[in-house]
């Protein structure tokens, strides 16, 4: 049974898969269609013009002959060859004169057999075609003193015109054939050339693997769609490479970070195993050290998890509007408990409100205050201040601690970066604190800056934009 879907499937099948071929075929089909329409138009136009010319010729010959006949003033001898003289001036014209019953009296050409009878189509010009012969024919009555004395038939033989049209047709068909063949060839070569960068792109993309992201696609000199695609592709690989490298650096830094506490714990476990079983003091010291390292590891794992969730965009800030004084006061009170030997100051206008995720902002400010405590000797002062202007809220955490040298400042927000590794480790720092603070500020659309002078102190400022 006839099935449309099967037919469509059949029609679909032969379409080549290569884009260059498809483009070539579409291009060739359109080109052929345009050529055919143009040529058919030309042929019809030429034929129409020639037929009209022939009609005019026939009409003027008829009029001239009738004029000559009426000039005889009632004494026309229809067999007089003078009435056929029009046929002598134009070689394609034939003139035949018949009596009223249709019998031929005189004719300029004897071989007009097959033309319509002299009485048919009176008053019209006939386009007559028979056995590959083409004529324009006009039949008229010959009248004398209101009496019909015969018929005049003027015909135009279009043999040479049709020969010309046939020649023109053959020439056009040949030109069309050559044109289409040329279109297919050039179309194929051009589209293949134009699409070559895509092939190169595909080949390079195939070669690129996670292990080797260093390859890049060659970008052509022209500023076209394909070179823009290549540039975009390269940029995408660049981003992938960066993030992949960042990821592996993060994993290796994290492993490196965990290696030390694990080694310490292992060392103490061996110590307990060998010596401390019978020495309660060593045992106590060892357990305390293991606990300290385990706490450090737990804090590090927490930080790592936080950053991993942040990187995967799983942490979304839940922003709300709340008073700044409450938050800063809370932080100061909590910090006083942990660092009773430091002085804390807070300067916050009573009505100042912040639009942020309270939990995340508290975490960031806690990390800044923890750093201030860590790197400020006892009795030093740590100040929390907040203010606002047209752009938003600014919060400063300032200390009178050891400070950071100018060349270290740009690096302190890098993950795992510590100015003095041993000192920082000893104080429980992992080098992740400030990168977490920066991440939190960034997701709020804010920015963070540090001013510091070695030996004098450090001031970290967070700017949060208005709602």
**Residues at the site binding ligand ADP, with contacts judged by CB under 6 A:** 371-372, 375, 399, 401-404, 412, 417-420, 424, 429-435, 458
What is the closest distance, in whole angstroms, from the C-beta atom of residue 380 to ligand ADP in the complex? 10
- Comparing CB distances to ligand ADP, the nearer of 134 and 374 is 374
What is the closest distance, in whole angstroms, from the C-beta atom of residue 266 to ligand ADP in the complex? 23
Q: Degrees (nearest 5) of the Cα angle 216, 217, 220?
A: 135
b/e burial code for range 286-305 (CB count within 10 A of at least 16 → b): beeebeebeebbeebeebbe
Distance, in Å, from the CA atom of 255 to the CA atom of 370, rounded to the nearest integer, reads: 24
b/e burial code for range 241-255 (CB count within 10 A of at least 16 → b): beeeeeeeebeebbe
What is the closest distance, in whole angstroms, from the C-beta atom of residue 250 to ligand ADP in the complex? 14
What is the closest distance, in whole angstroms, from the C-beta atom of residue 334 to ligand ADP in the complex? 17
- Comparing CB distances to ligand ADP, the nearer of 166 and 454 is 454
- Comparing CB distances to ligand ADP, the nearer of 141 and 427 is 427
Phi-psi region of 347 (alpha: psi -120 to 50; beta: other; left: phi over 0): beta
What is the closest distance, in whole angstroms, from the C-beta atom of residue 341 to ligand ADP in the complex? 16
* 3-class DSSP assignment, residue 109: coil
Give the residue closest to ligand ADP by C-beta.
429
- Comparing CB distances to ligand ADP, the nearer of 65 and 376 is 376
**Structural tokens at position 379:** 């009795």
What is the closest distance, in whole angstroms, from the C-beta atom of residue 222 to ligand ADP in the complex? 48
The residue assigned the tokens 């750093």 is: 371
What is the closest distance, in whole angstroms, from the C-beta atom of residue 314 to ligand ADP in the complex? 22
What is the closest distance, in whole angstroms, from the C-beta atom of residue 311 to ligand ADP in the complex? 16
Distance, in Å, from the CA atom of 65 to the CA atom of 53, rounded to the nearest integer, reads: 18
Q: In sequence order, which residues have a C-beta less than 8 Å from that of residue 445 and are 6 or more positions away?
A: 464, 465
The residue assigned the tokens 């060892």 is: 286
The residue assigned the tokens 């400063």 is: 396
What is the closest distance, in whole angstroms, from the C-beta atom of residue 336 to ligand ADP in the complex? 17
How does DSSP assign 173-222, residue by residue?
Answer: HHHHHHHHHHHHHHHHHHHHHHHHHHHHHHHHHHH-BTTB----PPPPSS
DSSP state of 150: E
CB 30 within 8 A of CB 179: no
- Comparing CB distances to ligand ADP, the nearer of 62 and 424 is 424
- Comparing CB distances to ligand ADP, the nearer of 98 and 458 is 458
What is the closest distance, in whole angstroms, from the C-beta atom of residue 237 to ligand ADP in the complex? 31
Distance, in Å, from the CA atom of 447 to the CA atom of 440, rounded to the nearest integer, reads: 10
Distance, in Å, from the CA atom of 382 to the CA atom of 396, rounded to the nearest integer, reads: 10
**Structural tokens at position 313:** 């965009």
β-strands 381-388, 343-347 pairing:
parallel
- Comparing CB distances to ligand ADP, the nearer of 138 and 399 is 399
**Structural tokens at position 290:** 């293991």
- Comparing CB distances to ligand ADP, the nearer of 116 and 428 is 428
**Residues in the chain, total:** 467
- Comparing CB distances to ligand ADP, the nearer of 118 and 431 is 431
- Comparing CB distances to ligand ADP, the nearer of 141 and 396 is 396
């Amino acid at each position: 049974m006839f099935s449309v879907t099967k037919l469509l499937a059949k029609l679909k099948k032969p379409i080549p898969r290569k884009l260059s071929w498809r483009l070539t075929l579409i291009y060739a089909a359109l080109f052929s269609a345009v050529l055919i329409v143009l040529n058919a138009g030309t042929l019809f136009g030429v034929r129409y013009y020639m037929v009209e010319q022939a009609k005019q010729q026939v009409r003027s010959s008829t009029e001239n002959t009738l004029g000559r006949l009426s000039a005889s003033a009632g004494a026309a001898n229809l067999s007089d060859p003078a009435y056929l003289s029009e046929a002598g001036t134009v070689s394609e014209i034939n003139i035949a004169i018949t009596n009223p019953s249709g019998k031929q009296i005189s004719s300029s050409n004897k071989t007009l057999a097959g033309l319509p009878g002299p009485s048919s189509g009176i008053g019209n010009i006939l386009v007559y075609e028979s056995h590959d012969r083409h004529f324009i024919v006009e039949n008229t009555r010959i009248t004398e003193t209101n009496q019909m004395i015969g018929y005049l038939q003027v015909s135009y033989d279009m043999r040479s015109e049709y020969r010309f049209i046939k020649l023109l047709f053959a020439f056009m068909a040949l030109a069309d054939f050559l044109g289409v063949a040329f279109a297919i060839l050039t179309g194929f070569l051009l589209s293949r050339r134009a699409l070559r960068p895509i092939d190169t792109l595909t080949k390079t993309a195939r070669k690129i693997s996670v292990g080797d992201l260093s390859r890049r696609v060659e970008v052509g000199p022209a500023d076209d769609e394909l070179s823009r695609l290549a540039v975009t592709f390269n940029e995408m690989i660049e981003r992938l490479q960066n993030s992949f490298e960042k990821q592996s650096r993060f994993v290796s830094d994290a492993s490196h970070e965990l290696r030390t506490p694990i080694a310490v714990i292992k060392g103490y476990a061996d110590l307990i195993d060998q010596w401390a079983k019978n020495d309660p003091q060593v045992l106590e010291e060892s357990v305390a050290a293991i606990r300290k390292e385990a706490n450090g590891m737990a804090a590090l794992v927490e930080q790592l998890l936080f950053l991993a969730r942040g990187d995967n965009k799983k942490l979304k800030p839940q922003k709300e509007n709340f008073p700044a004084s409450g938050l800063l006061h809370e932080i100061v009170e909590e910090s006083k408990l942990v660092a009773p030997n430091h002085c804390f100051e807070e300067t916050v206008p009573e009505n100042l409100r912040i639009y942020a995720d309270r939990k995340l902002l508290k975490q960031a400010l806690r990390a800044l205050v923890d750093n201030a405590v860590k790197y400020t000797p006892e009795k030093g002062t740590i100040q929390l201040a907040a203010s606002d202007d047209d752009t938003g809220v600014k919060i400063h955490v300032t200390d009178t601690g050891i400070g950071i040298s100018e060349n270290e400042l740009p690096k302190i927000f890098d993950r795992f970066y510590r100015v003095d590794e041993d000192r920082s480790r000893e104080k429980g720092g992992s080098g992740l604190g400030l990168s977490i603070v920066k991440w939190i500020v960034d997701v709020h659309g804010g920015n963070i800056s540090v001013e510091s002078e070695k030996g004098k102190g450090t001031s970290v400022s967070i700017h949060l934009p208005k709602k």
